[in-house]
Structure 1
Amino acid sequence: METIRLHHPQEKENMNLPASAAAIGFFDGLHRGHQDVLGTMIAKAEENGLKKAVITFDPHPSVVLNPKKRRTTYLTPLDVKLEMLEDMGVDYCFVINFSSALAGLSPDTFVFQYIIDMNIKEVIAGFDFTYGRYGAGNISTLSEYGAFHTTGVEKLAVDGEKISTTKIRKDLLTHELESANHALGRPYEVRGVIVQGEKRGRTIGFPTANIEPEYRYHLPAKGVYAVTFRLDNEETVYKGVCNVGVKPTFHDNLERVSVEVHLFDFDRSVYGENATVHWHHFIREERKFSGIDELTDHISRDKQKAIKLLENL
């Protein structure tokens, strides 16, 4: 997949792009609703002999448009999203810098510069996609241009509620992990590097791998989870129990959240290696215990519960 990064204003005279079908959107999470849009794009491209393309943005538009609710953490950070799109067979990904200048474009200017001038013949977007200054452009206005064909993909809902990145983010913060994973169509994942921690877990019989997230992920809420874990240089998938939190039994005012995974049947030093954690089930909220004995007793219970939850995985 070729990734083309664009800034406004952008010189594009020498791009000489082949005709393509393009799915357009932010696509954070690449959840099941996004997969419908991308699947429609792939079908249109193959039906019409076009290249498969995606138009996305960086950073999230809320950084420019909504300072009170700006989104600076992601379900799928850009590099991860690009890898996933490549795995889906996308030929081109246009990453447009979402700036004040871009947000101020008229709908017509956006269409001519970022769709027509890029030789896009099929545009596929979600039913609620908007573009141009004040979001004045939408699926209906896109269909009025004669230079390309437009397809709007209807919402995908579960129990009457639209699958959305906003809902998934909320579910992760309210321990509704199964709901988030169902909307994603896969277990939520976070990539990171294994770093040295306080090494307290080893002294109480539960050694942990401390994960420093590689990107600005939207982490699940503080608590204990049943997870799987894979080192980047191995195919083996390990099972474990993960604590996301501030370790209140040992710290009164620690603000920085850590991600610590105790793996079953694993006893190796892997500091410095890259790994991915997949979240499967929520077990309990993080809490402060009276001392080491109470803590280790609860960790033992957490481990047994995680073993049970993951046994049929």
Structure 2
Amino acid sequence: MYLTHCPDFSLPQPEPCVIAMGFFDGVHIGHQQVIATAKKIAEKRKVKLAVMTFFPHPKEVLSHGKARMAYLTPIETKGENFARLGVDKLYVIKFDMNFAELSPKEFINKYVVGLGAVHVVAGFDFTYGYRGQGNMETISADGNGCFQVTTVSKLEHGGRKISSTLIRELLSKGDVGDIAPYLGDFYETRGEVLLYSRSQKRGSLKAEISTYPYYTLPADGFYEIEAHVENHVYHGVSHVRSKRGGSITMEIELFYLRKNIRDWTIKIKWLNRLSESKKVKMKAN
């Protein structure tokens, strides 16, 4: 359910629920912990489990478009991940300047109490309301005791905080092989096959991919990838290159693929970065 803060918009009928709140970009291990905690509470209280998230990212709005976000996942992919985690309802609030002007108490009364929350779960660093003045220490008072609150503590791996920011940093360096312990899986992008050509050797296929919006490609270089097309999995190599003007191209070569996949949606999992020598060796195998 998409919610917009404006005078003529009315909320859906409230229903008792546990709400997990956050931006949840990437739905990484930390986010999954928030949702798993909320799910246990919802099951115990025999109510629905809801997730509340926001779009676009507050940094983009509050900077008036000057700070461009490198999103990890679009809303649609988030929704699929939430469904796999057992979420019953997804509320997506449009983050605009009208919404940003809400005081912490106004936000809680309208969008938390107003949606029937009996319990709220969020990470320790979650903030809300005007200039992020509300936090997990103020949320109970802002809700006037209408719901209970559980705060999920910081999670770390290898001495580093699990966060979307860290995953973006790893992508920017091309360190895709280091992402899985933080994300819970290899990083994934989706796109559409544009131009392609075939090689007689092993029936491999080379293609240019148009990546869908709100994904972030790794740094320029060659990568070992796993491509998912219509319930089939193919292994291959991807070459990411930046062009003048800021555009990025992605070309892939998939091995042992004989189908025509033009205009198909392709899901790519980024396994490892390849040196030039490793790329040549992989193609030879």
TM-score, structure 2 normalization: 0.91
Q: Does 1:77 align with 2:80?
A: no
1:148 CA drift (Å):
0.3
State yes or no: 1:245 paired with 2:241.
Answer: yes
The one-character-per-residue Cα deviations of 1:89-113 (angstroms, maximum 9, x if unpaired) are 2111110000111111111100100
Q: What is the aligned-residue RMSD (CA, Å)?
A: 2.4
Give the letter for the 1:56 counterpart. Answer: T
> Is the 8 Å Cα contact of residues 157 and 181 (structure 2) preserved in structure 1?
no
How has the CA–CA distance of structure 1 residues 298 and 117 changed in structure 2, closer, same or farther, with 3 Å as cutoff? Answer: closer
Matches within 5 A, 1:123-142: 123-142=120-139
SS of residue in 1 equivalent to 2:87: coil
Matched with 2:95 is 98
- Asked if the contact 2:177/2:270 (under 8 Å) is kept, the reply is no
**Maintained 8 Å contact 1:123/1:151:** yes
Q: Matched residue of 1:183: which SS?
A: helix
The number of residues matched between the two structures is 282
Please name the residue that 1:235 is paired with.
Answer: 231
> For the Cα contact (< 8 Å) 2:240–2:251, is it kept in 1?
yes
Residue aligning to 2:182: 183
Instruction: Give the Å deviation of 1:180.
Output: 1.7
Equivalent position of 1:170 in the other structure: 169
1:121 and 2:118 correspond: yes
Give, in angstroms, the shift of residue 196 of structure 1.
1.3
Amino acid at match of 1:224: F
Gaps of 5+ in 2: none
TM-score (norm 1): 0.83
What residue number does 1:44 align with?
A: 41
Query: Which one-letter code corresponds to 2:35 in the other structure?
Result: L
Is structure 2 residue 216 aligned with structure 1 residue 225?
no
Residue 159 of structure 1, CA deviation:
2.4
**Change in 2 beyond 3 A, CA 1:152/1:222:** same
CA displacement 1:51-109 (0-9 Å, x = unmatched) = 01000001011112245872443111111111211222211111000011111111110
Amino acid at match of 1:173: S
Going from structure 1 to structure 2, the CA distance change for 1:166 and 1:155 (only over 3 Å counts) comes to: same
When you count strand as a share of all residues, which structure comes out higher?
A: 2
Please say if residues 118 and 147 of structure 2, whose CA atoms lie closer than 8 Å, have aligned partners that are also in contact.
yes
In the other structure, the counterpart of 1:310 is none
Q: Which residue of 1 aligns with 2:214?
A: 216
The CA deviation at 1:143 is 2.2
Shift of 1:225: 0.7
Matched, 1:300 2:280: yes
Query: d(CA) in 1 for partners of 2:61 and 2:245?
Result: 31
The answer to whether 1:273 aligns with 2:272 is no
Question: Could you tell me which amino acid in structure 1 is paired with residue 219 of structure 2?
Answer: A
Q: Deviations over 1:143-174 (max 9, x none)?
A: 22310001100010112221110110010111
Q: Which has the larger radius of gyration?
A: 1
Q: Distance in 1 between matches of 2:54 and 2:245?
A: 35
Task: Verify the 8 A CA contact 2:3 2:11 in the aligned structure 1.
Answer: no
Q: Which amino acid aligns with 2:239?
A: N
State the alpha-carbon separation in 2 of the partners of residues 16 and 68 from structure 1: 34
Q: Is the 8 A contact 1:60 1:71 kept in 2?
A: no
Shift of 1:176: 1.8
Structure 2: how far apart are the matches of 1:10 and 1:203?
A: 62
Cα separation, 2, equivalents of 1:212 and 1:58: 23
After alignment, is 25-34 or 87-96 more displaced? 87-96
CA contact (8 A) 1:283 1:302 kept: no
CA distance in 1: counterparts of 2:173 and 2:41, whole angstroms: 38
Instruction: Identify which range, 67-76 or 16-25, moves more after superposition.
Output: 67-76
Distance 1:135 1:298 in 2: 47
Task: Tell me what 2:61 maps to.
Answer: 64
Measure how far apart 1:254 and its partner are: 7.9
**Displacement of 1:42 after TM fit?**
0.5
Unaligned runs of 5+ in 1: 248-252, 286-296, 308-313
Q: Match of 1:262?
A: 253
Query: Which position in structure 2 is the counterpart of 1:288?
Result: none
Distance 1:68 1:15 in 2: 30
- The percentage of counterpart residues that share the same residue type is 36
- Per the TM alignment, residue 181 of structure 1 is displaced from its structure 2 partner at its CA by 2.0
